[in-house]
Chain A
Amino acid sequence: MMRIVLGASLLLASPAFAEVRPGPGQDVVEANCGACHTTDYIRMNSAFLTPDAWKAEVGKMRAVFGLPIDDSVAAEILQYLTTEYGPKK
């Protein structure tokens, strides 16, 4: 297991860096997606990914990148992403 060094200045991270939108599932998204990458990846990829495209992304994170979540958590994440960051109606 790799040891991890967090830059000391990270502790001073500015609240000016916006986070993902509040909504059901936000905490699950931040805890799981945010473990390996900034949730700015989600904002960056919005708002154009269809529910199927978001499903493919979550599937890739599980199957390829080893995100250790079960189907119910995956469903919760997918619901959040499609609701908050899906294409505008």
Chain B
Amino acid sequence: MKRRVMLAGLGAVAATGAKAAEKPKWMSPALPDGTRDEATLVRLPGKQPLIQLTDRPPNYETPIDAFADPITANDRFFVRYHLAGVPTMEELKDWSLTVGGDAADRQVKFGMADLKKDFAQVEVTAVCQCSGNRRGLFDPHVAGVEWGYGAMGNAVWRGVRLKDLLAKAGVKADAVEVWFAGADGPVMPATPPFRKTLPVALAQRDDVIVATTMNGQPLPHLNGFPARLIVPGWTGTYWMKHLTSIEVSSKPMTNFWVQKAYRVPAGMFPVDLPFASQNDSATWPITEMVVNSLIASPVDGTKVGRSGFTVRGVAWDRGHGIKTVEVSFDGGKSWKPAKLGKNLGNYAFRTFSLASGALPPGPCVVSARAVSNKGETQATTLLRNPAGYHDNVPQTLTVTVA
């Protein structure tokens, strides 16, 4: 495929004339001042307004009210790129996917028609959450994209099993990892292109797929059109967009994105499937998500009536599923079990809701906390780590009853 890329500031596309930039309706006061100052609400082509943190490369988060729904709409789904070389839809027209590598028997190449015709089509509902979601809430702050709560979404992904693609190339006995590349790239040739890898055991799991549709539609351009990797339970860094190359490898991948970035202190967070070929004594790659929950409604700082309000939100974890969500209306002194919504699968958002009942006038501090079927709970205090990952301290918000 041609390597022409679009470097346009995407936000500028939406800007018209000298109109003042629109601000998001709500951003957490815990975010850095500079983030709150520079963020704008921007409507990208094909998207509802998203919170623009940066336009080049494009990094946009979903406004918090979207998370009252179990499925995040394609046009509200967050956008995250490391490097500003985003392939245009025109360039992606002649997309193809190569599967090979030194630990494959042969190299094979597939077009979109091949994927649809020659493979079983499978579906998984799964949360895609940026590793750095909530980084901006770290206290003290750490460097990076200063995400609030919205660098995540839950969608129904449909496509072909990664293991079925690998079978066409043939996986040799000495395979250790499966390497992935996408069509997006850096601005300068000296910049390391974004590449990621999975342990071969995970690549063989039935629900790890190369998705060609999202919520029944082709993938949106900036969510990885025409095909992206879906790794249920693992953070978004592995969910390669505009996927063009898969290599079965006998060696661990060596690059900045794997060895230096996206690392957490060894053993700090629970994992079921260790990424042994990428672990070292001090750090492990970030892999599986942590149990977490988010209140989408009401929004922090709003006013509510004395008859009360209903808390609505979502909970998710790394694939064990959600056992309970509890809600507090008194700043964490007492907790009540919330009603859970329909179970869309262990990798999906689980909605929850709970009515407050009548409330006395004044401030009401609301919080929620989830427990997974594995018995894992949200952290009571932040587990600090240098890159600002895995913040699952229960969110606390205050509404005024009047």
Contacts and interface: CB of A to CB of B under 8 A. Distances in A.
Interface of A: 1-7, 9-10, 12-18, 35-38, 40-49, 53, 56-57, 64-68, 85
Contacts of A10: 8-9, 12-13
A43 B12 contact: no
Given A2-B4, A40-B38, A14 B185 contact: no
A36 B57 CA distance: 8
Given A17-B11, A44-B145, A2 B5 contact: yes
A18 B9 CA distance: 13
A7 B56 CA distance: 12
B256 interface: yes
23 contacts: A2-B4, A4-B4, A4-B7, A4-B187, A5-B7, A9-B8, A10-B8, A10-B12, A14-B19, A16-B21, A17-B11, A17-B40, A35-B188, A37-B56, A42-B34, A43-B37, A44-B54, A47-B32, A47-B33, A48-B32, A53-B143, A65-B188, A68-B188
Q: Chain B's interface: helix, strand, loop or mixed, by majority?
A: loop
A49 B56 CA distance: 21
Contact of A35 (B12, B54, B187): B187
Contacts of B84: 36-37
Interface string B176-200: 0000000001111111100000000
B16 interface: yes
Interface string B131-152: 0000000001101111000000
A38 B33 CA distance: 18
Q: Chain A's interface: helix, strand, loop or mixed, by majority?
A: loop
B113 interface: no
Interchain residue pairs A-B with the least CB separation, the first 9: A66-B190, A7-B8, A46-B34, A14-B15, A13-B12, A43-B38, A48-B141, A36-B187, A38-B56
Interface residues of B, number: 51
A16 B84 CA distance: 21
Contact of A1 (B9, B189, B191, B256): B189
Nearest to A46: B34
B122 to A, nearest CB: 35
Contacts of A36: 83-84, 186-188, 191
Interface of B: 3-13, 15-21, 32-35, 37-40, 53-57, 83-85, 88, 140-141, 143-146, 185-192, 256, 260
A13 B15 contact: yes
B54 A41 contact: yes
Given A5-B4, A5-B5, A17-B11, A49 B143 contact: yes
Given A18-B38, A37-B56, A68 B190 contact: yes
A6 B12 CA distance: 11
B186 to A, nearest CB: 7
B141 to A, nearest CB: 4
B256 to A, nearest CB: 5
Contacts of B187: 2, 4, 35-36
A2 B18 contact: no
Contacts of B141: 45, 48
Contacts of B21: 14, 16-17
B12 A48 contact: no
A18 B15 CA distance: 13
A47 B7 CA distance: 27
Contact of A16 (B7, B9, B19, B37): B19
Contacts of A1: 189
B80 to A, nearest CB: 13
Nearest to B11: A17
B89 to A, nearest CB: 12
Contacts of B260: 64
Contact of B4 (A3, A49, A65): A3
Contacts of A6: 6-8
A13 B54 CA distance: 14
Contacts of A17: 9, 11-12, 15, 21, 40
B190 to A, nearest CB: 3
A61 B238 CA distance: 23
Contacts of A47: 32-34
A40 B54 contact: yes
Contact of A44 (B57, B83, B146): B146
